[in-house]
């Protein structure tokens, strides 16, 4: 009984220690209060580095909103040396950077793939992110120097794309795939009063590989619009506005990147989306819903759906496909590999795990390989293989490289949903290694 009480006692002590820290001042790296508190709790109730890291992150969620980014970074800095990060193909919460956060929404971007592992250099020209827009909130107009391929994970909304030829508004629902071309001004609204709008984004920078920048056109501050960088004389001439009125616009304080949407804004966007964005699949060139596609494989253990580059012009332009697997609890996909495509996959719902066969990469063999190439040698060692297991839960991102056999398994008490962006999808072949001639979904009693 004493042992069972320790985790609860640990969390209580951690909370009490950290609560005193919150009231002192804004967090910064020079403040050692958090570090001292956690060290004291560790000595009394030792836990694994992963458990201590999660406890630290849970504490951050209880801090004031403006302090959370510093708190999260402090947790990462504190535990990154302790946590063993030996899976080059898996990404968790600590691998994301929060670029924007407020009570109305957030934007989180995954670290560069090459920064995580040299094995991911082939997809380093892409970035990945999550966008959340709160109920009845609006993401203010902006454009990126990057192509965006978005998939709606949860919620309903409207997006408006402003181009030189005019404006196009689209209705959004779970499963919708749409693209925002680089340089296109867009604004997004959540039309639901109670549910968040959640979107997974594949980002392809067009200027500098793996780097992109957002440009906000709104005048004023927070966010600072790019118009404020131009001289008043040029702005007066361009917009035919006198200097006093111009200064009032440039100096006004905005509400932030996310703002409350009025009923008038929601109605206006609904009318616009009704004109161009609500057409059924096959007639609209701007959206396609992967959940409405006929399954390519289906049985009582689950189903797989996909949209290939040939099916949807925005995917063809990027040479990217989208796939969605819904695996019944206690079931598994077949073991397979992709001939040339790399999959960037995220778990929207459910639990399970993925098991993958990877060439054995020890530090010694990597050094020998680099030395051999450096001396002009062409000798390739026969590889051994390592089993990589990644526990899957909502928000986890994992990579499935080409040629690597893998299998996905759902938990015994929860189904597993997996959404994948398929990079280099054109002419890719999906090669099953078991159950050839049958459905790639089969029964498996998962113990997780």
Cα–chain-centroid distance for residue 419? 11
**Residue 252, pLDDT score:** 60
Classify each residue of 34-67 as buried b or exposed e, where b means 16 or more C-beta atoms within 10 Å of its C-beta: beebbeebeeebeeeeeebbbbbbebbeebeeeb
Higher-pLDDT residue of 289 and 385 is: 289
From the number of C-beta atoms within 10 Å of its C-beta (0-12, 13-18, 19+), residue 31 rates as middle
| pLDDT band at residue 249 using 50, 70 and 90 as cut-offs | low
User: 33-44 and 49-61 helices cross at what angle (nearest 10)?
Assistant: 130
Give yes or no for residue 369 having a pLDDT over 90. Answer: no
pLDDT (0 to 100) of residue 378 = 45
pLDDT classification of 174: cutoffs 50, 70, 90? very high
Decide: residue 73, CB within 10 A, 0-12 exposed, 13-18 middle, 19+ buried: middle
Give the pLDDT confidence score for residue 110 in this predicted structure: 96
**What does the pLDDT read at residue 164?**
80
User: How would residue 328 be classed by pLDDT, with cut points 50, 70 and 90?
Assistant: very high
Residue 339: is its pLDDT beyond 80? Answer: yes
Taking residues 114-118, report their average pLDDT.
91
Domains located in the chain, CATH noted: 1-84 (no CATH), 87-218+254-292 (2.60.120.10), 293-443 (2.60.120.10)
How many residues are present in the chain?
Answer: 448
Rg (CA), the chain: 24
pLDDT band at 14; cut points 50, 70, 90: very low
Take residue 279 and report the two structure tokens written for it: 């057409």
> What pLDDT band is residue 370 in, cutting at 50, 70 and 90?
very low
Distance CA 278, CA 172 (A): 9
pLDDT over threshold 90, residue 279: no
First to last CA, the chain: 25
Which positions ≥6 away from 203 have C-beta within 8 Å?
Answer: 109, 126, 127, 128, 129, 144, 146, 147, 148, 149, 212
Angle at 143 between CA 139 and CA 144, to 5 degrees: 115
From 375, 188, 366, select the one nearest 277 (Cα to Cα): 188
Q: By mean pLDDT, which of 277-281, 321-325, 377-381 is the weakest?
A: 277-281
Res 216: pLDDT: 78
Mean pLDDT within 319-344: 95
Q: State yes or no: pLDDT of 221 exceeds 80.
A: no
- Per the model's pLDDT, the better-predicted residue between 256 and 320 turns out to be 320
Question: In 405-444, which positions are buried (b, 16+ CB within 10 angstroms) versus exposed (e)?
Answer: bbbbbbbeebbbbbbbbbbbbeebebebeeeeeebbbbeb
Give Cβ neighbours of residue 393 (< 8 Å, ≥ 6 apart): 347, 350, 351
What pairing do the DSSP bridges indicate for beta strands 105-110 and 96-102? antiparallel
Higher pLDDT, 178 or 266: 178
Tokens representing 326? 């819904």
Say how many C-beta atoms besides its own lie within 10 A of residue 203's C-beta.
21
Answer yes or no: is pLDDT of 301 > 80: yes
């Amino acid at each position: 009984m004493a042992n069972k009480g320790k985790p609860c006692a640990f969390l209580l002590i951690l909370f009490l220690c950290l609560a005193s820290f919150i009231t002192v001042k804004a967090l910064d790296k020079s403040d050692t209060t958090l570090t001292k508190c956690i060290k004291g709790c560790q000595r009394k109730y030792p836990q694994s580095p992963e458990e201590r890291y999660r406890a630290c992150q849970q504490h951050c969620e209880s801090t004031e909103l403006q302090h959370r980014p510093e708190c999260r970074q402090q947790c990462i800095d504190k535990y990154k040396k302790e946590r063993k990060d030996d899976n080059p193909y898996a990404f968790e919460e600590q691998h994301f950077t929060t670029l924007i956060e407020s009570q109305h929404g957030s934007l989180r971007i995954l670290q560069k793939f090459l920064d995580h592992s040299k094995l991911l250099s082939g997809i380093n020209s892409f970035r990945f992110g999550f966008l959340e827009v709160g109920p009845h909130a609006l993401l203010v107009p902006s454009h990126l120097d990057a192509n965006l391929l978005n998939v709606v994970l949860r919620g309903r909304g409207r997006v408006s794309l402003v181009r030189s030829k005019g404006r196009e508004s689209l209705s959004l629902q779970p499963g919708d795939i749409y693209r925002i071309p680089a340089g296109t001004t867009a604004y997004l609204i959540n039309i639901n009063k109670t549910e968040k709008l959640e979107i997974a984004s594949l980002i392809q920078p067009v200027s500098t590989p793996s780097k992109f920048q957002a440009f906000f056109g709104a005048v004023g501050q927070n966010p600072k619009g790019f118009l404020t960088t131009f001289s008043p004389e040029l702005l007066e001439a361009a917009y035919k506005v006198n200097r006093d009125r111009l200064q009032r616009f440039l100096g006004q304080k905005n509400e932030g990147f996310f703002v409350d949407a009025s009923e008038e804004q929601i109605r206006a966007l609904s009318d616009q989306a009704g004109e161009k964005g609500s057409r059924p699949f096959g007639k609209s060139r701007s959206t396609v819903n992967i959940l409405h596609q006929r399954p390519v494989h289906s049985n009582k253990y689950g189903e797989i759906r996909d949209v290939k580059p040939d099916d949807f012009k925005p995917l063809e332009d990027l040479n990217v496909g989208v796939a969605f697997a819904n695996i019944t609890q206690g079931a598994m996909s077949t073991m397979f590999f992709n001939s040339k495509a790399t999959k960037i996959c995220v778990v929207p719902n459910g639990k399970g795990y993925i098991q993958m066969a990877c060439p054995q990469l020890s530090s010694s063999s990597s050094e020998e390989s680099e030395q051999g190439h450096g001396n002009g040698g062409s000798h390739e060692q026969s590889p051994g293989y390592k089993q990589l297991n990644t526990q899957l839960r909502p928000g986890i991102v994992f990579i499935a490289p080409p040629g690597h056999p893998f299998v996905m398994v759902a938990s015994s008490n929860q189904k597993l949903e997996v959404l994948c962006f398929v990079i280099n999808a054109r002419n890719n072949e999906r090669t099953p290694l078991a159950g050839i001639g049958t459905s790639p979904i089969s029964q498996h009693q998962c113990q997780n």
